[in-house]
Chains A and B, each alone.
Chain A
Amino acid sequence: MSEPVGRNTAGTGGPGTTLLGAAAWLSLATTVVLGWRLPPTREQGPYARLIAIHPPLAWAAYLAFGVCAVASALWLWKRTRAPRWDRLAASSAEIGVVFCALTLVTGSIWGRPTWGVWWTWDARLTSTALLLALFLGYLALRRVAYDPEARARRSAVAALIAVADVPIVHFSVDWWRTLHQGRSLAQISPQSDLDGSYVSVMLLGFCAMTLVYAWLVVHRCRVEAMEEALESEGLDIALEERRAEADVVRAGV
C-alpha cells in the first residue's frame, strides 16, 4: 500500500510537544529523585516515600476522567460539536484508566506494609476501583467497530452517565465504610507525621503528573486523528484501485 500523505504523517510531535515532554520528564525525574531521598518515617518506614507519586497519580486519573466528561459534553452540545472533542474524550479516558490502575497498584504496594493487606474495603479504594471499572466499560464500548459519528454519540452519552454515577458511588461507599469501620483511613494516613519536605515533593509530583498527562493526551489525540485520516485515505485508495481495475477490464474488452 502506498504511503498515506498528509501534514501529520511525520509523527505526533512538534516543537510545543517536545518542550512539554521535556518538562514532563524532567519534573517527573526530579520528583522520583527527591522522593527517593525523603527520610523514612517512624510509622511506615521507606514506604512513606510513595507519597511522591501515589496521590499525584490519583489526581491525574481524576483530571483525565474530568476532561473526558467535559469533552463528551462539548461533543454532545450541538454548537461546539467537533470530532476533536470525541478524540480528546477517547484519549483522556484511555490515559485516565492507566493512571487509575497505577493509583490502585501503588496504593496496594503502600497498603501491604502499612495495613498488612494488599486490599482493604476502604471507601476511597472501593470507589476508585469502581471508577476504573466504569471507564473500562467506556473503553470497551469505544472498541466496538461502528460508524464514527454513532460511536462518538454513544461514547459521549456513556461517559456522561458513567460520570453521573460517581457522586452516588462516592456517597454509598463512604456511608458503608464509615458506618461499619471504626478506624478510618484518615487516622492512619501518613499526613500526621509528615514534615515540609514530604509536602513539597508531593506538590512537585502533582505538577509532574499533570504535565505527563498533558503530554500524553496531546500525542494520543494526534494518533487518533492520524488513524482516522488513514482510514479515510485507505478507503480512497481502495476506491481508486477498483476503478483502475475496471479501466483495465474495459481496455481489454
Chain B
Amino acid sequence: MWRDAMLVAGKDLRIEARSRVATNQVAPFAIVILVLFGFALDPDRGVLGRASAGLFWVAVLLSSLLAVQRSFAVEAGDGAADGLRLSGLDPAGVFLGKAAAVAAQLALLQVVLAIGIVVLYDADLGGPVLLVATCAAATVGLAAAGTVYGVLAAGLKVRETLLPLLLLPVVAPVLLSATRAWEAGMGISVDDGWRWAQLLAVFAVVYVTLGVLAFGALLEES
C-alpha cells in the first residue's frame, strides 16, 4: 500500500512539476485572493493584520478546491482513470498517494501565502511551532477530505460546481480550528492553540481513515 502510494504521489507531483499548473495558476490565484481581501477590507493595516489568520485560511481553502479539482482532472483525460483502475494498485494506496500529492502542493502554497500575509498584511508570525503543527494537521485533513470528495464528484458532468458545495461545509471546522490556532500562535488571541491543533489532528485521522476505507468502492465506478 505504501509503495503504491509513493508511486501515485510521485506521478501526480511529476505531472504538476512538468505542467506547472500549481506554480503558474494556483499559487498566483492564492496571491490574488490575498490582494482582493486587501481591497475588500480597509487597507488600514490594523484590520488586515487582525484578520490575517482567517484570511490566510480562507485563501488556503479556496486554493485547495483548485488543487483537488486538478488532481482529478489529470485522471479524466486519455483514459487515465481506467489505467489507474486496471493498474492493480491498492485503492488505499492510490488514495494516500493522491492525498499526499495534494498535501505537498498545499504545503508549498501555505509557504507562499505565509510570506504573502507577512508582506501584504504586516502579519507577525510569532510562535512558529504551533503555526507549523497547525499547518501540518490542517493540510493532511484538507487533502484527505478533498481527495475523498474529489473522487466522489469525479466523472460527473457537474463536478466543478458540485465539489465546492460538497467539500466546503465539511472542511468548515478546519477553517475554524486552524484560524483559532493561528490566532493563538500569532498572539492575536489568548486561546489555547494546541487544543485546536488537536481537533485538526482528529479531523485528519477521521478523513484519512474514511478515505482508505471508501476509496476502493468509489474508484471502481467513477
Q: Which of A76, A134, A149 has the most CB of B within 10 A?
A: A134
| Contact (A144, B157) CB under 8 Å given A158-B152, A158-B166, A164-B206 | yes
Could you tell me if B210 and A169 are in contact, using CB atoms closer than 8 angstroms?
Answer: no
- The interface size of chain B toward A, counting residues with CB under 8 Å, comes to 32
Interface positions of A from 130 to 165, Cβ below 8 Å from B: 130, 133-134, 136-137, 140-141, 144, 146-147, 149-150, 153-154, 157-158, 160-162, 164-165
| Contact (A157, B199) CB under 8 Å given A140-B166, A179-B191 | no
Answer whether residue B202 sits at the interface, using C-beta atoms and an 8 A cutoff.
yes
Answer whether residue B195 sits at the interface, using C-beta atoms and an 8 A cutoff.
yes
Answer whether residue A175 sits at the interface, using C-beta atoms and an 8 A cutoff.
yes
Q: Which residues of A contact B202 (CB under 8 A)?
A: 168
Cα distance A137–B145 in the bound complex, in angstroms? 14
* Of B21-29, B34-42, B214-222, the one with at least 4 CB within 8 A of chain A: B214-222
Could you tell me if B206 and A173 are in contact, using CB atoms closer than 8 angstroms?
Answer: no
Interface positions of B from 147 to 192, Cβ below 8 Å from A: 148-149, 152-153, 156-158, 162, 165-166, 168-170, 172-173, 176-177, 180, 191
Interface positions of A from 165 to 194, Cβ below 8 Å from B: 165, 168-169, 171-173, 175-176, 179
Which of B148, B165, B221 is the one whose CB lies under 8 Å from A161? B148
Cα distance A133–B157 in the bound complex, in angstroms? 21
Could you tell me if B152 and A141 are in contact, using CB atoms closer than 8 angstroms?
Answer: yes
| Contact (A140, B170) CB under 8 Å given A157-B218, A164-B206, A168-B206 | no
Could you tell me if B173 and A165 are in contact, using CB atoms closer than 8 angstroms?
Answer: yes
Could you tell me if A162 and B176 are in contact, using CB atoms closer than 8 angstroms?
Answer: no
Could you tell me if B169 and A153 are in contact, using CB atoms closer than 8 angstroms?
Answer: no
Which of B156, B158, B177 is the one whose CB lies under 8 Å from A172? B177
Q: Which residues of A contact B218 (CB under 8 A)?
A: 153-154, 157
Q: Which residues of B contact A164 (CB under 8 A)?
A: 206-207, 210
Interface bin, chain A:
20 to 34
* Beta-carbon nearest neighbor of B167 in chain A: A137
Q: Which residues of B contact A176 (CB under 8 A)?
A: 176, 180
Q: Which residues of B contact A136 (CB under 8 A)?
A: 165
Answer whether residue B57 sits at the interface, using C-beta atoms and an 8 A cutoff.
no
Cα distance A140–B169 in the bound complex, in angstroms? 13
Interface positions of B from 9 to 34, Cβ below 8 Å from A: none
Answer whether residue B95 sits at the interface, using C-beta atoms and an 8 A cutoff.
no
Could you tell me if B173 and A168 are in contact, using CB atoms closer than 8 angstroms?
Answer: yes
Q: Which residues of B contact A133 (CB under 8 A)?
A: 165, 168-169, 172
Chain B residues packing against A (C-beta within 8 Å):
145, 148-149, 152-153, 156-158, 162, 165-166, 168-170, 172-173, 176-177, 180, 191, 195-196, 199, 202-203, 206-207, 210, 214, 217-218, 221
Top 4 closest pairs, chain A to chain B, by CB: A133-B169, A172-B173, A137-B166, A150-B221
> 20 additional contacts, CB 8 Å, given A134-B169, A144-B157, A168-B173?
A130-B169, A130-B172, A133-B168, A137-B162, A137-B165, A137-B166, A137-B169, A144-B158, A157-B217, A161-B170, A161-B210, A164-B206, A165-B169, A168-B202, A169-B172, A171-B199, A172-B173, A172-B176, A172-B177, A173-B173
Chain A residues packing against B (C-beta within 8 Å):
76, 130, 133-134, 136-137, 140-141, 144, 146-147, 149-150, 153-154, 157-158, 160-162, 164-165, 168-169, 171-173, 175-176, 179
27 contacts between A and B (CB under 8 A): A76-B217, A133-B165, A133-B168, A133-B172, A134-B169, A137-B165, A140-B162, A141-B152, A141-B162, A144-B158, A153-B218, A154-B152, A157-B214, A158-B152, A161-B210, A162-B170, A164-B207, A165-B169, A165-B170, A168-B206, A172-B173, A172-B196, A173-B173, A175-B180, A176-B176, A176-B180, A179-B180
